[in-house]
Structure 1
Amino acid sequence: MTFEEAKAWRRGSARADHYAKLARPRLGDRERERKRKKVVTPEDMPWEDSPQGSLKHMVNGDMNVRVNSIDAYMQELAPGSRSGKHRHMADEALYVLEGQGYDLHWDVDVALGTTYEWKVAEKPSKWEWEAGDLVWIPPNTVHQHFNASATAPARFISAQNRAFKFLGYDDVEQLENAPEWKPSGGAAPRPPTDR
């Protein structure tokens, strides 16, 4: 009776080469990787009008670039406007390129059972920022970005670690759309604004 698994684990005759595949050089992968871009020009970076706002993707898993560890985009907030409000598993870093504004962050507690239950704080914390600042958004935090200027745009770069996607935890919950977003059934190109 004791240590019954000592006999049970040997049952079965299925064979595999999973480890050998990991250890074997992947020539096709290496060749494919060599063809991917190491330098991404502005012309390679697609615009997306999304529920989060107007985004210019710098690095994304769907782009033909060699960066495999992060997703990054540039976002511009129109004067007096705001981004969408959302939550995602990965933490996020924003580097503010121009303008000034603030973030609202709602802490989220997670109750784990047979499903996840998100408990969002009633009151947000406010984090002011300006050009040159780096803003960190912790994992699962509900957040929204606001442009504090009524006359000038605010622009920042957002970067997230892609590891959560590889692990299957890439959920994004959109709670409020950016005011400028109009559903069109997909991404639409957006030309840059002249200044």
Structure 2
Amino acid sequence: MAWSESGAWLAGTENAPLYADLLQDAADAPRRNAGRRKILKPSDMPWEMSRQGLLKHLINEDMNTRMETVDAYMQIIPAGSRSGKHRHLAEECLYVVEGRGYDLHQDCDVEITDTYHWKPQDEVKRFEWEAGDVIYVPPNTIHQHFNADPHRPARLISAINRIYKHSGLNDLEQIEDAPEYDPSVVLDAEKIRGYLRAG
């Protein structure tokens, strides 16, 4: 036989219908998607008291929607408070629904090999925002949102592409927790109203 590497590539006895599975997955997509929601009501959107702060999830991979690539949540920052501080490899954009405040962003030098290695740069940049603005968070930037109004809450809508996660690049690190974070808290409308009145 002319193929000199045949001794190596002919080895192995395992069989698997991997391509057939891909074809079946594609064929099943219309039926599968027909069972996924295109419309979500507020009651379908779960609250979370997270380390990043008070969140109402609008779209999430675990919510059985047709959205394949984007996760989005609404973040409520009580008067005079702040979000958690975190860093993730994916870029993010946030729309300021109401309120005014500022972000602190710290770029990082990153190296991706078998593991992630990142080092914060010295400079911390401040960006002011108000209702109607869009905040852009570059990839791998340490960031935190601050509500500058001592009397009124701020609301932000965050959108992030989950393709990073599916590409094995879900590098997410929480550096500081939001002041309101308490894993024992169960959120509902009345509890949220209490946070909105705070300050």
TM bin (shorter chain):
0.7 to 0.9
Name segments (4+ residues, structure 1) moved above 6 Å: none
Quickly say closer, same or farther: Cα 1:112–1:159, change in 2 above 3 A: closer
Taking the TM superposition and a 5 Å limit, the aligned residue runs for 1:99-178 are: 99-112=99-112, 114-178=114-178
Q: TM-score, normalised by structure 2?
A: 0.86
Worse-superposed segment, 24-33 or 123-132: 24-33
Determine which of 177, 186, 189 is the counterpart of 2:187.
189
Q: Quick one: percent identity of the two aligned structures?
A: 51
Secondary structure of the structure 1 residue equivalent to 2:62 = coil
- Residue 73 (structure 1) aligns with: 73
Query: How large is the Cα RMSD of the aligned pairs?
Result: 2.1
What is the aligned length?
191
- Residue 54 (structure 1) aligns with: 54
Distance 1:111 1:161 in 2: 21
Worse-superposed segment, 8-17 or 24-33: 24-33
Distance 2:46 2:168 in 1: 25
- Residue 31 (structure 2) aligns with: 31
Shift of 1:11: 3.2
- What amino acid is aligned across from residue 132 of structure 1 in structure 2? G
Distance 1:6 1:129 in 2: 63
Tell me, which stretches of 5 or more residues in structure 1 are unaligned?
Answer: none
Secondary structure of the structure 2 residue equivalent to 1:62 = helix
Judge conservation of contact 1:46–1:189 (CA < 8 Å) in 2: no
Secondary structure of the structure 2 residue equivalent to 1:21 = helix
Secondary structure of the structure 2 residue equivalent to 1:169 = coil
Distance 1:57 1:164 in 2: 19
Tell me, which stretches of 5 or more residues in structure 2 are unaligned?
Answer: none
Q: TM-score, normalised by structure 1?
A: 0.88
Q: What whole-Å deviation, never above 9, does each CA across 1:75-110 have from its counterpart, x for those lacking one?
A: 111111100000112110101111111111110111
- What amino acid is aligned across from residue 23 of structure 1 in structure 2? L
Q: What whole-Å deviation, never above 9, does each CA across 1:4-36 have from its counterpart, x for those lacking one?
A: 536532333433321222124655543232111
Distance 1:157 1:115 in 2: 31
Higher helix share: 2
Distance 2:62 2:100 in 1: 31
Distance 1:158 1:144 in 2: 13
Distance 2:40 2:91 in 1: 24
